[in-house]
């Protein structure tokens, strides 16, 4: 293989990228756009959820309970109403996600040392939000109930019995439970899929459509030199985007980075080889830019978005889909990214993810090499 000939092909591809404003936009703007969209647009943190209140008791005790809801960052009491109809209307039109109904005998039952039920009406059109709302509501009510019980026992001179079993919760890796810390590292996998597979899927197909493949074939440049020359600029651009996205994640969104930057670059390089080889393989088979781009998006971007664990937990998927994810390189890259950013996992402990990525890189590189030949058919 002649290095000078390979670099000549690489320079030709760089000129093509510079001349193609769409390719430049994808390379430069797509990473920033995706980081901002997912960083701000996809937020799984449920805070300030609108709440309507129907307080039929109107006592100091009922107001104390409502103050507990107001003190929580998860709830925002929008309005106090006087009838069920207003609550029904608010839940119907989406003005409220939760409605609290306090019965007329609330304070009386508490003063007697009895139990009383507070009704919570939840908008369950979004089941995930509804489940979280129910959990938050129960936590607030249980906290208030414990305070009421403590005060009642104190007034009656009874000893407060501590709970025999308690839970002391400590969150590791994502101490503030921010969804951005979970989502943003995985955006790198989407960026690499677009930059790698989508753009390289056009390389050979573009040559066929423009009629310049015959000129390449007539030159002494070998098939391997053409392949490496065409993929090298995209590899460099991909690594640049990795660094750019990592800096945005750390400096703009303040996502913790506890691992090794070298490990990040190594794993990103492996994944880039995978998607570049796959994009080149698609370009050789498709022969047209439109078909190549559609196939590239179908086999890279969509699986990376839906089945890699980027947003949806793989453990919660059906067993059949869990097995399918094992043949998706993006699954292992997303896992590596989250471990490097949040856990600071060492390179040696990432072997379960890096070895499959290396195998995918080797297999797809061989397939791409075998598929491309210097001939007109």
pLDDT bucket at 120, cuts 50 / 70 / 90: very high
pLDDT at 159: 65
When comparing pLDDT for 145 and 215, which is higher? 145
pLDDT bucket at 168, cuts 50 / 70 / 90: confident
- The answer on pLDDT for 265 being more than 90 is yes
User: CA nearest 248: which of 2, 29, 6?
Assistant: 29
Q: Per mean pLDDT, which range of 14-28, 72-86, 297-311 is the poorest?
A: 14-28
Q: Per mean pLDDT, which range of 24-28, 257-261, 339-343 is the poorest?
A: 24-28
Mean pLDDT of all residues in 88-103: 91
Mean pLDDT of all residues in 229-258: 90
Three-class SS string for 303-351? HHHHCCCCCCCHHHCCHHHHHHHCCCHHHHHHHHHHHHHHHCCCCHHHH
* pTM (2 d.p.): 0.80
pLDDT at 353: 93
User: CA nearest 331: which of 354, 364, 297, 363?
Assistant: 354
User: CA nearest 368: which of 266, 236, 269, 231?
Assistant: 231
When comparing pLDDT for 377 and 263, which is higher? 263
Question: Is there a contact between 101 and 121 (Cβ–Cβ < 8 Å)?
Answer: yes
pLDDT bucket at 26, cuts 50 / 70 / 90: confident
- The answer on pLDDT for 141 being more than 80 is yes
User: CA nearest 281: which of 360, 187, 221, 188?
Assistant: 360
- For residue 75, what is the enclosing H or E element? strand 75-80
Mean pLDDT of all residues in 106-112: 83
Distance between CA atoms of 162 and 312, rounded to whole angstroms? 39
Distance between CA atoms of 8 and 59, rounded to whole angstroms? 83
Radius of gyration (Cα) for the chain, nearest Å? 29
Q: Per mean pLDDT, which range of 98-107, 208-217, 262-271, 301-310 is the poorest?
A: 208-217
pLDDT at 166: 62
pLDDT at 351: 92
- For residue 49, what is the enclosing H or E element? strand 49-55
Domain ranges of the chain: 3-43+178-371, 49-155
- What are the pLDDT digits (tens) for 206-222? 777 776 766 766 777 78
pLDDT at 113: 72
Residue 272 half-sphere exposure toward CB, CA atoms < 13 A: 21
Distance between CA atoms of 363 and 377, rounded to whole angstroms? 24
pLDDT bucket at 152, cuts 50 / 70 / 90: low
Give every CB contact of residue 28 below 8 A, 6+ residues apart in sequence.
Answer: none
Mean pLDDT of all residues in 198-203: 78
Q: Per mean pLDDT, which range of 12-21, 109-118, 159-168, 360-369 is the poorest?
A: 159-168
Provide the percentage of residues in the chain whose pLDDT is more than 90: 27
pLDDT at 98: 92
- The answer on pLDDT for 258 being more than 60 is yes
Counting DSSP H helices and E strands in the chain, the numbers are 17, 4
pLDDT bucket at 34, cuts 50 / 70 / 90: confident
In CATH terms, the superfamily for domain 49-155 is abc type-2 transporter like domain (3.40.1710.10)
- The answer on pLDDT for 231 being more than 60 is yes
pLDDT at 40: 82
pLDDT at 11: 87
- The answer on pLDDT for 267 being more than 80 is yes
Provide the percentage of residues in the chain whose pLDDT is more than 70: 92
Distance between CA atoms of 180 and 38, rounded to whole angstroms? 8
Tokens matching residue 314 = 């793989």
pLDDT at 163: 59
Mean pLDDT of all residues in 2-26: 79
pLDDT at 375: 57
Task: Tell me what the pLDDT averaged over the chain comes to.
Answer: 84
Tokens matching residue 356 = 């499959």
- The answer on pLDDT for 360 being more than 90 is yes
Distance between CA atoms of 119 and 98, rounded to whole angstroms? 10
């Amino acid at each position: 293989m002649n290095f000078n000939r390979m670099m000549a092909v690489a320079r030709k591809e760089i000129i093509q990228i510079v001349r193609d404003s769409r390719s430049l936009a994808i390379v430069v703007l797509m990473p920033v756009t995706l980081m901002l969209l997912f960083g701000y647009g996809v937020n799984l943190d449920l805070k300030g959820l609108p709440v309507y209140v129907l307080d039929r008791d109107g006592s100091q005790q009922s107001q104390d309970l409502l103050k507990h809801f107001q003190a929580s960052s998860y709830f925002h009491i929008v309005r106090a109403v006087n009838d069920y109809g207003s609550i029904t209307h608010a839940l119907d039109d989406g003005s409220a996600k939760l409605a609290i109904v306090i019965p007329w005998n609330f304070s009386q039952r508490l003063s007697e040392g009895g139990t009383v039920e507070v009704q919570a009406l939840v908008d369950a059109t979004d089941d995930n939000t509804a489940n979280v709302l129910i959990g938050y509501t129960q936590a607030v009510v249980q906290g208030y109930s414990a305070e009421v019980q403590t005060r009642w026992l104190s007034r009656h001179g009874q000893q407060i019995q501590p709970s025999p079993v308690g839970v002391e919760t400590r969150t590791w890796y994502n101490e503030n439970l921010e969804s951005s810390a979970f989502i943003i590292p995985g955006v790198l996998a989407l960026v690499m899929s677009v930059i790698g597979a989508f753009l390289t899927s056009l390389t050979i197909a573009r040559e066929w459509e423009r009629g310049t493949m015959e000129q390449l074939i007539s030159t002494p440049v070998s098939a391997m030199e053409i392949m490496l020359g065409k993929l090298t600029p995209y590899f460099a651009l991909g690594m640049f985007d990795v660094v750019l996205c990592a800096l945005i994640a750390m400096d703009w969104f303040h996502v913790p980075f506890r691992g090794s930057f070298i490990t990040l670059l190594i794993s990103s390089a492996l994944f880039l080889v995978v998607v570049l080889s796959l994009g080149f393989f698609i370009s050789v088979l498709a022969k047209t830019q439109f078909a190549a781009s559609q196939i590239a998006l179908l086999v890279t971007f969509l699986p990376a978005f839906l089945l890699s664990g980027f947003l949806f937990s793989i453990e919660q998927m059906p067993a059949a889909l869990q097995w399918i994810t094992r043949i998706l390189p993006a699954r292992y890259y997303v896992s590596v990214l989250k471990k490097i950013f949040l856990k600071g996992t060492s390179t040696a402990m990432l072997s379960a993810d890096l070895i499959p990525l290396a195998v995918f890189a080797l297999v797809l590189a061989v397939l791409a090499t075998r598929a491309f030949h210097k001939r007109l058919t």
